[in-house]
Structure 1
Amino acid sequence: MKTKSLLVVLIALCGILCSIGVTQAFGQAVYGSIIGTVTDAQGAAVANAKVKATSVTKNTTTETTTNESGNYAVTHLIPDTYNVRVEAPGFKAFETKNVLVQADAAVRVDGQFQVGGASETVEVTAEAPQLKTDRADVSIEFDSKYVENLPIFNRNFTSLELASPGTQKLVGWGHAATENPQGGQQIFVNGQHFSGTGFELDGTDNQDPILGIIVVNPNLDAITETKMSLQNYDAEFGKAIAGLVTVQTKSGSNDVHGSAFWFRRTDATAARDPFTQYKPDAVTGRMIPSSRWNQFGGSIGGPIIKNKLFFFGDYQGTRQTSGISQQLTIPTSTVLSTCLAATGFCDLSQYQPLIGNGKAGDPSNYLYDPASSPNLDGTGRSAFCGATEVLNPTPGTCPTPFLIPVGKLSPQALNILSLFPTPTNGLVQNNFVGAGSGPFKQDSFDTRIDFTASQSLQVFGRFSLDYFSLSGKGALGPLGGVGFGLLGLAGSSITHNYSLATGFTKTLSSSLLTDFRFGYFKYNPQTHKPDEGTNPATAFGIPNMNLGDKTTSGLPAFFLHDAAPNGGAGNVISNF
């Protein structure tokens, strides 16, 4: 008995917290509103006039009455086109048709009665939207026509954000393909960091809290409208500090409607990169790696029970093979032939301009034997000079620098060196070009149900799933390196992104209603290294790197650096 009493109390508290007065409910993230004032021919307020808002596509009706001041508010309307009809005894009814209602916005429809019978109707055509007076936010709205018809590269919804003023795309950096296969763009709004922009889908959160990017990047055919808020948005969106992107998915109507699309792009129309694609690949014989991009899908919506229960669903598939040419710096042919020889000297003289400050004879422009001094700071070490080693070398005392006896080389380093491919040109830097392709697969869908149980109770639910699978091989073969997958991926990734939104609205009286909404999303990337499960570091002779589990398996990271002008690490010229 105590448990039941506690449950009743909790439900009652939830109802109180969700209940709001309609005069304050003009802007919700999911719904829109119609507001206005009704007067008679002399301009006096007409109280208790009946106001009906009827969906043009669904034929569902929401009713309210005017208050003592003649004001009314029809709230919690699904974005759609509505006909508004107002009736009162002793007056001709008037009707305003084709009123466009958008989410998180209120449209004003005022009316003035004329004396006459209730059976007579004065028809009014909806006017162009007036200056927004019910809220202070600065925003841009795009309806389904704009979203579907604007040219958007790869049909990536987040790119649409760049159509708003004050936005700028971050260049030179992006999330890895394994953690962002949905292609969320990194866009600054009014100079604020991209992670400060909030994303909402049907009024529920759609942003990963760690990476700050969109989770479900919606199919363009599933969007009925989107709103980009740039400044002064409502307090309910307090998590966002830069911009706010809200999306409303489509719902079904009394008529069955659908769409289908297919887009294709191949390397047949691609231009060659003159720096990396100047000759056919040695393996494939192609100037440009094979590259294919296909995107296809469709949508359908309609009634399950006319005027009451509606459905909408969409699907989008992407099949992509990313042709990539990678230009890398690897050991030269001279290094490979001399350092891997059984006897003699490892010749590194080609790297003289890149060692230390690059000035011949300078103390930093020599290679020193780390075993020649116990000092950890490097002092007291002798320089390699062919068959001898010289302390405090000069051009006179060390005429043959950069020659290291092969017996002095680390066996682990030689094991790694032996796996490098042969350079594709005679340069010291940017001396290897590898080409290949990596597959990318996307399957995504949305389903939505809308139910008008009565004029006072409306329910909706939506479920979305984005599935991604992508992979790529490393450009350096067994040494991995930058890959041929999407955005240089070497390895593989499988990602499932989920989003669920549901809610209901119950009108309790002309001044009281309950609005309940529930949202859930899951961002779930699962990545795998290209050599996961192997122990190459152990095979090289490097201890304590591969410990026999999946986490420590595979190659450790190695970075090749060039020289910095004033010493230091310099720039990364290649990594594997």
Structure 2
Amino acid sequence: MVSRNFGVGRMVATALCLAAAARLGAQVSTASLTGIVTDPTGARVPGVRLTLTNEQTGVATTAESSASGEYTFALLSPGRYTLSTDAAGFKSASWPGILLELGRVTRLDITLQLGQVDEKIVVTGEAPLLESETSTVGQFIENRTITDMPLNNRRVGEIMALMGHAVYITGDVIRPRYTIAGSRSDSQQWLIDGVNASNIALEVSQALFNPPVEAVQEIRVQQNAYSAEFGNSAAGVIAMTTRSGTNRLTGLLYEYFRNDKLNARNFFASTRPPLRWNAFGGAAGGPVIRNKTFFFVNVEFQRQRLSNVRTLTVPTPEQIRGDFSKTTTAAGALIPIFDPFSNHPNPANPSQILRTQFPGNVIPPSRLDAAAVRIAALFPPPNRPPVNLAGASNWNAANTNALNITTGTGKFDHHFSERDRLSARIIVHDFPTYNTAAFPTPAADPNASSSDRRAFSYLFNHLHSFSPTFINDLRFNYQPRRFHNMSRGLGENWPSKLGLKGVSDRAFPRVDVAGYTSLGATPHERVQIPIHDTHLVDAVSIFRGSHSLRTGGELRLARNVDNFYQLVSGQLSFAIQATAQPGVANTGNALASMLTGFVSAASVRSTDELDRRAKYLAFFVQDDWKVTRNLTLNLGLRWEAHTPRFDANDRINGFDRDKINPVSNTPGIVTFANRDGYSRSLYNGDYNNFMPRFGFAWKVPFLSRTVVRGGYGVFFGPPLPGSNNTSAGFETSGSFSSPDNSLTPAFLLRDGFPSTSRPQLWPGYGAVPVGQPVRFAPEFLEPNRRIGYSQQWNFVLQRELGWLAVVEVSYVGNVGHKLPGPSVSINQVHPSQMGPGNAQIRRPFPQFGNVTTVTPFIGNSSYHGVNVKVEKRFSDGLNFLGNYTFSKFIDDVTSDQEVGEVGGIQDIYNRRAEKALSGNDVRHRFVYSSTYELPWGKGRRWLTRGPAAMTLGGWALGAIVTLQAGSPDGLVTQVNTTNAFNGVQRVNLLRNPTLPKSERKLERWFDTSAAVAPPPYNFGTAGRANLISPGLATLDLSIMKNHRFLERYNLQVRLEAFNSLNRVNLEDPGRALGAPTFGVITAARSARTLQAGLKLTF
């Protein structure tokens, strides 16, 4: 929140003038055809009438070659076309079967033949595959690949895993996450039919829709140096078009299913978890009025019941009774348990605090806290042998994750005339989930929760041609949705049953016991209704001579109403340090700490209704200038701005680091929207986001099948508040923590939570006098935050090989600045003041607990990658795409999602120490995908008739091979002994912890003896990234048998195998020094999964 306002009128006016003065020719969801008309001598021919006809819809568009002989057809629906010419003194000619792809300018130069107009010739052959008009690095995926590849979940988002410079991170059926060319997954732009399909209500680039493959026609991913038409993304653009109807009535019905009886057992599971998975639906499309009006509809239902096997660490019955006489380290050494209330000074060193060990390492029954005993009884009992002497992974069971996904798509296209085209499209998505409990007490299971998600997208697109060289494209998209998340135990009065005081009975409390599984799911409940995203974009394309120009603007409006009962019944944290000898490693146990009632940290939170809103405004210009027949320049400029987020009811807090707090007389006060001279916004606006774009494409004259391309651009991402937590003063909340690293408790469990009554909204809000136990932990967004951006460049060499194949070598560079990092507390003790005793009074803001800046834009990154691609478009029954990427990715902040685990910030005062290999650094990656129709049967090369054609014909194969190196991991301590209230504590390394391959075992994947805990009150000296996790190797296969009958019907029987060779792909080892799982691998990725399908098309 800020105390000053920014005017944007001058910048907006500048951008408007700039946009009004230019014209450009890129496109979001359409295709273009361009070229030069010449006579047999090579002279350019003006005034030639050209007609381009869509072969599926019959819709025709006309154009005329310019004075320089150039022609352009823009903003066309992707598909196959026939081009015909008509010019006096030349023979009429036609070029059938021209494939125009989504987001691509296809070039087709024409040479006319002398003769009479009534003499007709037909020219056969495919349009060139070379990208000779643009500098963008990306990938186009045709419909056949989308439908025939073995794609897990049958969703188009899986397609991105086939591309170079891209790595899959994580995600669910609807929200897949990738890192593209050194970018962050939270900064991508998802587009469907040219409009936003991302979560702009939270100002993050999170996919809202991941349509089934049967609903999508084509996909194009732009990875680096894309046109100025694209913005709000520093991490690539994923654009797709939904299918449209044609002059032919077509349809399909399909069902795919999986069952655990068909699958292999996971390497770490004793049995195959029960699975029932079905995806079924249908589609139909065709003409309403031939050559004029068309429709398409698709509906899919996906039902899944999956038992999720979990291996966790739970207390033994002896430990629950307070008996820790058999609790040891992984090496078998007894872990002493000390009385947390026996603190006394060391006679030999009075500054050192000592504790007394419980006799026999057993907590006397009279010392057990009653509420803690009730809570401990809710842990499930061990049901399997532990993997080591420390008792790790001694419980294994499955809970069922239920999904009931319904997705529908409907599209209507109407051509009023050659000048006007209208398209309307709706997407409906219903995605409820329900996770059953595996714990004996369902409410205690941290995985037991359910959610109700629904989203809609309504698109209206009007295309108007003032002339063949002046076209306007107007799009409007409205996306309402809702989200309701619920934990188990709502309304069951669990705090009263457990004897936990001071919190609401609404939900089961969250209990975190270090070294063991947690109890209770979070958040307790969240209701986001309504959520609205509105997107308006208008662009004009004008063609003048050798210039193809386009200009336009965008407006996005976002609203998110949020009722968040995050921790309405409280969260309790119990630390090892409470029953440890201060400063001595391998002492103490967090369950023992809980049984004594020693609470190290706790929080409670429930907000009033929030109504957060934001706007986005952008203008762009792009000129694709054909300098010569062989050289094209792509010149663009974009300006965009996100207005600062605000709450309709001013329920927002900020934080002023400099103002003196009247309660503590120290710097730091909580501020409130529209009060005391502070504005309504979370932060200042960032209005200087100008983004130049430059690129070239040169078709080498003496190598007619070779193109050299290159480009550079600046790209800003979304503002990413991502959180509604900045609502202090408008919530029931409290944050309590030990002031001295668990020498004294935050409070005693038997006393319950301290009072959380709401204080008045004033500069002393939430503060306490220095030295008193803190009660509040503010969260805020930096008032002068600046949106992160990247500078991207590329150099590409592309060569056409013939037989519809190309080879491409691309170098991509990407340097990021002001990138979003993890939320971090700025209330860390300075390293010069670290030491024993009460650290709370040494914090910069001792009147508060953690003071957290949410998603600070503080990061930097660099990526350099070379990709070799060989691609063959479908012909003669075969297509394939192969990519090998060699890259290096460095950053200094952890991304929102990472392949590896390098951890958060250790010391906010020494950010330079954070620079290391990114958790998303994958040094080597090879992926090959292909579909192949076997050359037997009717219409193929051999065995074209008779019984052999029936039996052997119609078979097809699909395959995806993925070979991927591991990603970096970082080693940290389980027990943070810095006493500095910092994020993590890294280890000290005595040597390189990586073991030779021959010495790696599941129970010791790396040299655990190479890592030691830093001395108390010191940071670890190791960097963020210390070792490389296991890699990935999979082969996915599909086998299809097509049987045609009654001329127009085709029945396809299909079998798919994911990880068909059942290779064990291990997950990361445990990386917390002192934890029972340190250095131990306890999980693997999915084993072989079979999927069968049946599809009828007509």
Q: Confirm or deny that 1:383 pairs with 2:349.
A: no
Map 1:395-474; keep pairs closer than 5 Å: 400-425=359-384, 427=386, 428-474=391-437
Q: Confirm or deny that 1:201 pairs with 2:192.
A: yes
SS at match of 1:476: coil
What is the distance in 2 between the residues matched to 1:381 and 1:226? 65
SS at match of 2:88: coil
In structure 2, which of residues 298, 301, 325 is the aligned counterpart of residue 314 of structure 1?
Answer: 298
CA distances 1:199-251 after superposition (whole Å, capped 9, x unpaired): 11111112224553311001111111111222221111132222221101111
**1:182 to 1:20, Cα distance in 2 relative to 1, 3 A:** farther
**1:324 to 1:80, Cα distance in 2 relative to 1, 3 A:** same
Bigger mean CA deviation after superposition, 442-451 or 157-166: 157-166
Counterpart of 1:269? 262
User: Greater CA radius of gyration, 1 or 2?
Assistant: 1
What is the distance in 1 between the residues matched to 2:129 and 2:302? 41
What is the distance in 1 between the residues matched to 2:67 and 2:378? 86
**1:139 to 1:306, Cα distance in 2 relative to 1, 3 A:** same
**1:552 to 1:312, Cα distance in 2 relative to 1, 3 A:** closer
Percent identical residues: 23
What is the distance in 2 between the residues matched to 1:145 and 1:216? 21
What is the distance in 2 between the residues matched to 1:547 and 1:456? 64
SS at match of 1:235: coil
Q: Which amino acid letter does the alignment assign opposite residue 975 of structure 2?
A: G
SS at match of 2:363: strand
Contact 1:215 1:523 in 2 (8 A): no
Bigger mean CA deviation after superposition, 138-147 or 187-196: 187-196
What is the distance in 1 between the residues matched to 2:454 and 2:463? 31
Counterpart of 1:393? none
Counterpart of 1:537? 495
Post-superposition offset of 1:263: 1.1
Counterpart of 1:155? 154
Counterpart of 1:97? 96
In structure 2, which of residues 295, 315, 318 is the aligned counterpart of residue 334 of structure 1?
Answer: 318
Unpaired runs of 5+ residues, structure 1, are 1-13, 176-180, 278-286, 340-345, 386-399, 484-488
Counterpart of 1:353? 329
Counterpart of 1:65? 64
In structure 2, which of residues 471, 477, 500 is the aligned counterpart of residue 519 of structure 1?
Answer: 477
Q: Which amino acid letter does the alignment assign opposite residue 221 of structure 2?
A: M
Unpaired runs of 5+ residues, structure 2, are 1-15, 508-524, 526-564, 578-584, 587-972, 977-1071, 1078-1098
What is the distance in 2 between the residues matched to 1:411 and 1:19? 76
**1:273 to 1:124, Cα distance in 2 relative to 1, 3 A:** closer
Q: Matched residue pairs, number?
A: 507
Contact 1:370 1:381 in 2 (8 A): no
Counterpart of 2:989? none
Contact 1:182 1:216 in 2 (8 A): no
SS at match of 2:460: strand
Counterpart of 2:438? 475
Post-superposition offset of 1:366: 3.2
**1:122 to 1:276, Cα distance in 2 relative to 1, 3 A:** closer
Q: Confirm or deny that 1:230 pairs with 2:194.
A: no
Post-superposition offset of 1:494: 1.0
What is the distance in 1 between the residues matched to 2:206 and 2:364? 53
SS at match of 1:383: coil
Q: Which amino acid letter does the alignment assign opposite residue 300 of structure 1?
A: A
What is the distance in 2 between the residues matched to 1:424 and 1:559? 25
Counterpart of 2:1053? none
**1:169 to 1:481, Cα distance in 2 relative to 1, 3 A:** farther
Backbone CA RMSD of aligned residues: 3.2
Contact 1:501 1:518 in 2 (8 A): yes
In structure 2, which of residues 957, 966, 975 is the aligned counterpart of residue 568 of structure 1?
Answer: 975
Post-superposition offset of 1:328: 2.0
CA distances 1:20-69 after superposition (whole Å, capped 9, x unpaired): 85xx42x3011111112223344333322211111101011111111111
Map 1:274-313; keep pairs closer than 5 Å: 275-277=268-270, 287-313=271-297
Contact 2:37 2:45 in 1 (8 A): yes
In structure 2, which of residues 171, 174, 180 is the aligned counterpart of residue 189 of structure 1?
Answer: 180
**1:261 to 1:374, Cα distance in 2 relative to 1, 3 A:** farther
SS at match of 2:159: helix
Contact 2:81 2:96 in 1 (8 A): yes
Post-superposition offset of 1:17: 7.1
**1:201 to 1:572, Cα distance in 2 relative to 1, 3 A:** farther
CA distances 1:449-488 after superposition (whole Å, capped 9, x unpaired): 11111011111121111111111123323364556xxxxx
Q: Confirm or deny that 1:241 pairs with 2:234.
A: yes
What is the distance in 2 between the residues matched to 1:81 and 1:273? 45
What is the distance in 2 between the residues matched to 1:63 and 1:205? 31
CA distances 1:298-338 after superposition (whole Å, capped 9, x unpaired): 211100111100001111111100112222222212234xx
What is the distance in 1 between the residues matched to 2:153 and 2:492? 36
**1:567 to 1:322, Cα distance in 2 relative to 1, 3 A:** closer
CA distances 1:86-115 after superposition (whole Å, capped 9, x unpaired): 112333211111111112212223323333
Structure 2 length as normaliser, TM-score?
0.43
What is the distance in 1 between the residues matched to 2:430 and 2:279? 14
Counterpart of 1:280? none
SS at match of 2:123: strand
Q: Which amino acid letter does the alignment assign opposite residue 568 of structure 1?
A: V
Q: Which amino acid letter does the alignment assign opposite residue 218 of structure 1?
A: P
Map 1:122-137; keep pairs closer than 5 Å: 122-137=121-136
SS at match of 2:113: coil
What is the distance in 1 between the residues matched to 2:50 and 2:454? 46
Contact 2:463 2:473 in 1 (8 A): yes
What is the distance in 1 between the residues matched to 2:974 and 2:196? 48
CA distances 1:353-390 after superposition (whole Å, capped 9, x unpaired): 38xx9865xxx833214266799x997665254xxxxx
CA distances 1:484-539 after superposition (whole Å, capped 9, x unpaired): xxxxx421011112223221111112432222112233454321111123331232
Counterpart of 2:28? 29
**1:321 to 1:562, Cα distance in 2 relative to 1, 3 A:** farther
**1:560 to 1:332, Cα distance in 2 relative to 1, 3 A:** farther
Contact 1:537 1:554 in 2 (8 A): no
Contact 1:326 1:475 in 2 (8 A): no
Contact 1:368 1:381 in 2 (8 A): no
Bigger mean CA deviation after superposition, 443-452 or 196-205: 196-205
Q: Which amino acid letter does the alignment assign opposite residue 195 of structure 1?
A: D
Counterpart of 2:142? 143
What is the distance in 2 between the residues matched to 1:435 and 1:492? 16
Post-superposition offset of 1:296: 1.3
**1:548 to 1:260, Cα distance in 2 relative to 1, 3 A:** closer
Q: Which amino acid letter does the alignment assign opposite residue 177 of structure 2?
A: Q
Structure 1 length as normaliser, TM-score?
0.80
Map 1:67-82; keep pairs closer than 5 Å: 67-82=66-81
**1:76 to 1:538, Cα distance in 2 relative to 1, 3 A:** same
Q: Which amino acid letter does the alignment assign opposite residue 377 of structure 2?
A: S
Counterpart of 1:486? none
Contact 1:447 1:462 in 2 (8 A): yes
Post-superposition offset of 1:291: 1.3
Counterpart of 2:674? none
What is the distance in 1 between the residues matched to 2:403 and 2:440? 20
